[in-house]
Every structure is written in C-alpha cells, then in structure tokens.
Amino acid sequence: MLQGKKILITAGPTYEPIDPVRFFGNRSSGKMGFAIAEVLAGYNAEVYLVCGPTNIITHNPSIKLFQVETAQQMFDKSAQLFQNMDAAIFAAAIADYTPEKVSDKKIKKEQTGSDAILIKLVPTKDILSHLGKIKSPEQVLVGFSLETDNELENAKKKLVNKNLDFIVLNSLNDMGAGFSTDTNKITIINRKGEIVKYPLKLKTDVAIDIINYLAANYFS
C-alpha cells in the first residue's frame, strides 16, 4: 500500500544560535523519527528525512537524508519538499522561539556588565500550520504532540488548529516515553475524534504501529 509513496519525515531537535558557541536546544534524540523513516523505507516507500542535529545514522540506503540545524532551515527544506509528497510525518521537536539577534562573536561575561544576560526571543515560523494551510485533499499531514498536562485536550487542539489528518500524542508523564528513550507510549487521534491507545513499546515497534495506521486509514 505504501510502495512508491513519497513521504516526508522530520526528526530530532533544532538548535537556535545565540553566538558562535552557544545555542538554545531541546532533548530530542531523533530516535522516533528515524525509526519511522526506516520502517517506511522497509515498506518500499520513497522516504525523505529532514533531521536536526543528531548522532543517529540511517541504515536503509534508499532514505534521502537532509540535515539541518535551525527551525528556519527545517521550515525551508520541509516546505520545499512537501509540495511533491503524498504524506508528511512531523516527529521533530522544532523550537518555538529563536533569539532575535545572534552575536557574530562569543558573548563574554565582561561584555554584559553584570551577572545577568537578557536575550530576546521571537517566534519561529510554524511549519505544521503553514503546511496545513497549503496541503491538498490528497495529501496526509501527521503531527506529534508531546505533552506534560491536559494531554488529550492539547493534542486535539493542535490537530484542529494545524489542519492535521491525525496526531500522535505522547506524554512525559508516562514512564519510558519521551526524549532519548528507546521506548514510547502513544495515542493516535484522528479528525473524527477517534482515539487509539497503544501500550509502551520499543520505538521501532511504535513506528510500525504509526505506519500501519497511516496505510490502513489513508492509503488502503
């Protein structure tokens, strides 16, 4: 069902530079997104993987890998690729904010004149919202929602606001789920409000669940 389908995956964190040495980042390892890419490639889909900074490597040589660093770079590459995709799954933990100004030299303590340094943050471009506005009826757009509270409510809101076809919810309150772990525990919610809950599994098995859901409900 997925053979020959062009599918975009995003994975990993983004790094938002402060100066040539420092950056704002997050704890995403990229494991979930890479697992999804490998499963899709194993199903003979045409996989395009856009990833932020990570030490993970791809194993299937058919995966087309695009490495980026910042949220803006991930936005640009994803927007460029999306127009030719059958589906896109956004598993990356993209920064919501980035420094307004980036110093071209390392910021030193003596420059600040005090023990405190103030950095003004501005919103990054919302990739999912942008793609949700331009996607065709034939395209499938999938997002992830990592939550710490009001999990279902927040995930459903994101699903609607960003015009997603379904969303994958996981919670930092679940033991063994979240960043850097080899396991994950997910709940899938679609536009009809249908909810499917899965037990804690290895991320490789979670990737299979997500792809099987995609195939059965949108490409059958």
Q: 147: which DSSP letter?
A: E
Name the phi and psi angles at 147, rounded to 5: -125, 160
**For residues 92 and 49, is the Cβ–Cβ distance under 8 A?**
no
Q: Which residues are catalytic?
A: 26
Q: Is 178 left (phi over 0), alpha (psi -120 to 50) or beta?
A: left
Q: How far apart are CA 74 and CA 70, in angstroms?
A: 6
- The DSSP string of 173-216 is TSTT-STT-SEE--EEEETT--EEE---EEHHHHHHHHHHHHHH
Q: How far apart are CA 40 and CA 212, in angstroms?
A: 10
Helix (H, G, I), strand (E, B) or coil at 90: strand
